[in-house]
Amino acid sequence: MDRDTALKEFEDLVEKVKYLSPEERQFMYKGTQYPSTVTSPETLQALDNFEARADDILLVSYPKCGFNWMFQILNSLAIAAGTTEKGNEILPPLLEFRKPKNLQVFSSMPSQRILGTHLHPDNLPKSFIEKKVKILTIIRNPKDAAVSYYHFQYNNPVMGFNYTWDKFFSVFMEKKVFYGSYFDYISAWNKKINDENVHIVIYEELKKNMSEEVKKIAKFFNFTLTEEQIQSICSKSTFKSMKENSMNTHGKFGTILFRKGDIGDWKNCLTEEQSKAIDLKFEKHLAGTKIGDLLKYDEYCK
């Protein structure tokens, strides 16, 4: 989607949400809450018949876990490798952020398509699995993910919510946020951790060791790049660099998408009781699993 079209859609949504009640701003589909301002039951149903291509790249993540950051990196890698045409994309084409009649826009996209979604891994269109499409998911520690999600919801006029932090935390822990439970979502990826077509990136490791992580991503997608190209992409894809350039790339939406990106920001928001509540959830759902080990919970959440 080009910059002007995306920003016009954003402004239209901001105006639309003013006239919607809190109940009208969300809907339930197959047991999960979704934002009605950007998707619909009809779109989610239509995605069941989405036609993937074998050379597609699919980026999947839980909300506010580094999705837009990773899209920037993926797009830069593909352009440098010559597998994707350079365009004026500013927002990744999320599968569910289209009206059913507009899903055909994906069919007209030239290969290699970089597609994205926040859908639960068990709810991905089946053609991506059948065609063995390579999937990249980026995962962030639950405490920072929760805090980032809260600020995104609170500051995003398209969402139209003004919950207090305590109210949001309660909703987050009760699995009532958009796209459902963080812990259910990440647990589902643990079941796919040995899938040769799935590559998992940990947000914190990407931030601390970007060059090495980007090289792993390039290798996974068979991108052939020089060391100079890798370093150039890394320097332009730091969170700091993207935030500073966000008004040029994303207009008014930039300050909403790129807030802090810090590791450990949860310490400024969670109470001791809330922190312990997440510890218990992690212990129940992810401790001792391969993906739980990758998250380095004791290092980033204690």
- Whether residue 293 lies inside any domain: the answer is no
Q: Which residue has the higher pLDDT, 62 or 256?
A: 62
Known catalytic residue at 118: yes
pTM metric for this prediction: 0.88
Peptide bond into 112 cis (omega under 30): yes
Domain boundaries, position 96: 3-140+180-260
Q: How confident is the model at residue 160 (pLDDT cuts 50, 70, 90)?
A: low
For residue 101, is it within any domain? yes
Residue 158 inside a domain? The answer is no
Q: Is the pLDDT of residue 88 over 50?
A: no
Q: Residue 125 maps to which CATH number?
A: 3.40.50.300
pLDDT in tens, 166-191: 999 999 999 889 999 999 999 999 99
pLDDT bin (cut points 50, 70, 90) of residue 36 is: confident
Residue at 76 is within a domain: yes
Domain total of the chain: 1
**Within-domain flag for 292:** no
The pLDDT of residue 130 is 97
pLDDT digits (tens, 9 = 90+) for 280-298: 999 999 999 999 999 999 9
**Pairwise pLDDT comparison (2 vs 224), residue with the higher score:** 224
CA distance 174 to 158: 23
The answer to whether residue 148 is domain-embedded is no
18 lies in some domain: yes
Instruction: Summarize the confidence of residues 268-277 as an average pLDDT.
Output: 97
Contacts of 43 (CB under 8 A, 6+ apart): 96, 98, 99, 100, 103
Given the residues 118, 151, 250, 285, select the one marked as catalytic. Answer: 118
| Lowest mean per-residue pLDDT among 2-16, 31-45, 115-129, 228-242 | 2-16
Q: What are phi and psi of 54, to 5 degrees?
A: -60, -30
**Residue 237 within a domain:** yes
